[in-house]
Homo-oligomer: A and B are copies of this chain.
Amino acid sequence: MNLKELAELLGLSQTTVSRALNGFPEVSEKTRERVQRAAKKNNYAPNTAARGLATGRAFMIGHVISTSNQNETVNPVFGDFVAGVGEIYSANGYKMMLSVVPPHEDEYQVYRDLNAQSIVDAVVVHSPCIDEGRIPFLSELGLPFIVHGRASECEIPYAWLDVNNRSAFLRATDFLHDLGHRRIALLNGLEHMDFAHRRREGYESSLVSHGLKVDNELISSHEMTESYGFERTSELLRSESPPTAILAASIVVAFGARRAVQAAGKVVGKDVSIVTHDDCLSYLRNNDPVPIFTATKSSVREAGRRLAAMLLQVIENPDMEPPQELLEVELTIGQSTGPAPVG
C-alpha cells in the first residue's frame, strides 16, 4: 500500500493524506482521523527511500565501529550503549545504522561515503583517542556528529558526552589511600584511548597530592580482557614489593585480577583490595546489597540515552552551540576493599 493507493481509497488527494499523517494544521480533524484510521487499518507506512529523497533527511543515525585494533576486540560496552541510544532513537522516529569497518580498511572513507550517499543525518563517534582525527575530519566534512567520550588534544569545539574519568580514578585512589594503601597498582586500558589517559591522570594526581610518587612498575596498559587482569595481577603479586591494592579498568579486568589473587592463595578485600570501574552492563551486574566490587559506577546505557537526546538536538538545530556533558560517577563500596594489611 502506497500513498497514492491510500489517497484513492479515501477519495482524497495525496497532498491531503500526506499532510494529515504528518500533522499539518491545514487539514480538518475529521479528515485527519479518517486518514489515520485508514492508514493503520491498511498497514500503510511511508516508503523511507521516497520520503528521504523528498525531504533530504534520512532519519538515520550512523554508528561506525572499528574492529581494527590488534585483536579485533569488540567493546563489551557496545551492546548496552546501543540499547540506550536505540531507545531514544525509536521514540523519536529515528533509525540506527551500524557500519563495521573491516580490519585494514579506511574508516575515513566510510564517513565520506556515508556523507556523500546522504544515508545518515549524523554519526556517533566511538572510542576517541587522545588526538582524535575523526573530529576535525567530520567538522570539515560538515556531517553532524557527537563523540562518546572526549579528545584531550582537540582544540575545536564539538559535541560530546563523557564520564568524568579523571575524577573517578582520583576518588578511587584517594579512597584506597584513606584505607592505608600505599602501593596501588593501575591496570589501565589502552592509554592512547582518551578515557584511559584521563584515568591515569586522576590516579597520578591523587598519588602526588598525597606525597606518593608514581611508580611505573605499578602501572600497565592493555586491552581490557579477563586474561589481562589475571596475567598482570599474577605478575604484580610475584614481584618483590607487590601492591596491596589494584585499580582495574573494567569489571572484566577485575574478574581476572580476582582470579589471580585467589590463585595466589590470598583473599580479596583483605590481602589485596580491588576497585574497578563499572559500566553497569546488564549481564555483569554488580549491585547486590553489598556489591562484589567496590566500584566507580556509571551506566553506559543511561549515557547512551543522554547522548542520543543531545544528538537529536544538534540535528534539529544545526546552528546551536555544540552541547557537552560530563557525567560524574558514583563511588560504591563493596566487598573487594578493606584496610591495607599491616607490615
Question: A48 at interface (Cβ–Cβ under 8 A)?
Answer: yes
- Copy number in the complex reads 2
**Contact A117–B227 (Cβ < 8 Å):** no
**Contact B86–A100 (Cβ < 8 Å):** yes
Determine the main DSSP class of A at the interface with B: mixed
The CA of A226 and the CA of B254, in the complex, are separated in Å by 13
Identify A227's interface contact among B80, B85, B285, CB under 8 A: B285
The CA of A249 and the CA of B240, in the complex, are separated in Å by 40
Q: For A285, list chain B residues within 8 Å (CB).
A: 225-227
Identify A79's interface contact among B49, B74, B96, B119, CB under 8 A: B74
Give residues of chain A (34-71) contacting chain B, Cβ–Cβ below 8 Å: 43-53, 58, 60, 65, 67, 71
Flag the segment in A87-95, A151-159, A167-175, A309-317 that touches B.
A87-95
The CA of A324 and the CA of B82, in the complex, are separated in Å by 29
Give residues of chain A (84-133) contacting chain B, Cβ–Cβ below 8 Å: 85-87, 89-91, 95-102, 112-113, 116-119
Q: For A67, list chain B residues within 8 Å (CB).
A: 83
Residue in chain B with minimal CB distance to A73: B282
Contact mask A249-269 → B, CB, 8 Å, 1/0?
Answer: 000100100110010000000
